[in-house]
Amino acid sequence: MRGRQLTDRPSAARSSGRSVDATGPGSPAVEFSSLRRGSRALLRDLNVSLLIELVRSSGPISRADLARQSGLSAPTVSTIVGELVERGIVIEGATAPANGGRPPVLLNLDPTAGFVIGIKLRGDGLTTVVCDLNARVVATAEASVSLVGDPAAAVVAIEQETRRALRDAAVPRSKVLGVGIGLSGVIDSARGVCKFSHLLQWRDAELAAPLRRRLRLPIWVDNDMNTLAVAEKWAGDALAARDFVTLSVGRGIGLGIVIDRSLYRGATGAAGEFGHMMVEPGGPKCECGRFGCLEALVGEDALRRRVGERHGRDVSRNELIALAAAGDSATLEVLDSAGRKLGLAVANMVTLLNPELLIICGEGTDLGDPFLAPVVTAVREQTFADLGRQVEVKVQGWGDEAWAVGAATLVLRESFSLPEPDDQGLAIWHRP
């Protein structure tokens, strides 16, 4: 999920100083009996996960470098790597130049050693993807089913689509690490419960528990903006970022907030509902039932309505994009005005959070510069103390399956940690 860079300001990757409880010389030996129960149990082991992530992010890499970067002892690394090679999870490749003695063998991760499933829920259906360990999509599918007001239908649909996706991708269940589910709303991610979603009209809808019983797989559920933020940190534009924000524009306006490399969900899981800030009291009615929300002013439905009023007819999403690309004057006026309003709100958010990186994504990016350029201009010009001129801004191209890939990456992130060096060169352990 890489974006085009609007301004070239390097991100500073800093360390938190929090270190993993690593097994080193003199430390208790890691318990290996659990590593032989099956591939999924193997991949979930703490030290195994650390080494796999180091191989994934730094490979090709030698055993000696793994020991140095992880803080694990050389015998522990050798034992774990031997098991991983035997299972085919890690592959031995070429040798590196030696400084005397035997040349070290370099290791790479086999991305097909494990797979994850990602699902994006909508009111009218769901998108399902199967991804390998590099978050590469190996199978994707769309299913149409009404989910509004019916979380039980969602549980049934998720089970059916998960089983169908695994069959279509010819992936054995033994290689499946879990299922990630992303949806709009206030999510209790620890329990896998949707506490409230105005788009789906759900309250206190349990997803994780019934799906674990049905599928007998690990299940993670989170707000869809959070899953996009996790994807950016795992394999996207935010690899080196410590504090960043992912802004989605389209039908909805949402934020995924990462502070000190960890997702910020708020006290009740509602952080990031950016589109429901009230910016014009008494303004247009929002889908949430209130009046004057930002989303009701600059969301896709509002843009289509305003352009339609100018042209005296209904305007579809595709027509809106075509009119913008053709330079239609009425459309450009509407997009410029909406971009300025959104940009001012984003500038205030930048002043509040002071991120080093702002990633703009979502289906609204298809509207291009007529809508996005005013947003970036406002960020640059309307923030306190020139904070907007210091933040790096990237705009991403968009595909409909990106939401589901984000949900799949949630499983990868929960299965493996992303190690970063602290000031002493030891690995530090972060999970959003």
User: What CATH number is associated with residue 91?
Assistant: 1.10.10.10
Residue ending a domain, choose from 61, 85, 112: 112
Does residue 24 lie in a domain region? no
Domain assignment present for residue 87? The answer is yes
Same domain, 225 and 275: no
What pLDDT band is residue 191 in, cutting at 50, 70 and 90? very high
Domain that holds residue 373: 240-399
Does 282 lie in the same domain as 146? no
- Check whether residue 246 and residue 159 sit in a common domain: no
Q: Are residues 390 and 257 in the same domain?
A: yes
Residue 65 lies in a domain: yes
Same domain, yes or no: 302 and 153: no
Query: How high is the pLDDT of residue 71?
Result: 87
Looking at residue 100, its pLDDT comes to 59
Task: Classify residue 133: in a domain, yes or no.
Answer: yes
Clarify whether residues 256 and 151 are in a common domain: no
Residue 147 within any structural domain of the chain:
yes
4-27 confidence digits (pLDDT tens)? 433 323 233 323 322 233 333 233
Residues 297 and 394 in one domain: yes
Residues 379 and 248 in one domain: yes
Residues 310, 251 share a domain: yes
- Structural domain includes residue 284: yes
**Which CATH number is 290's domain given?**
3.30.420.40
Number of domains in the chain: 3
HSE, CB side, 13 Å, CA atoms: give it for residue 131: 30
Question: 186 and 305 share a domain?
Answer: no
For 374-403, how does the pLDDT look when each residue is reduced to its tens digit (9 = 90+)? 999 999 999 999 999 999 999 988 877 889
Q: Is the domain of 388 the same as that of 255?
A: yes
Domain assignment present for 323: yes
Q: What is the model's pLDDT at position 32? A: 30
Q: Same domain, yes or no, for 306 and 182?
A: no
**Residue 65 or residue 102, greater confidence:** 65
Model confidence, pTM: 0.81
- 15 occurs within a structural domain: no
Question: Which residue has tokens 């924000």?
Answer: 245
Of 112, 140, 158, the domain-final residue: 112
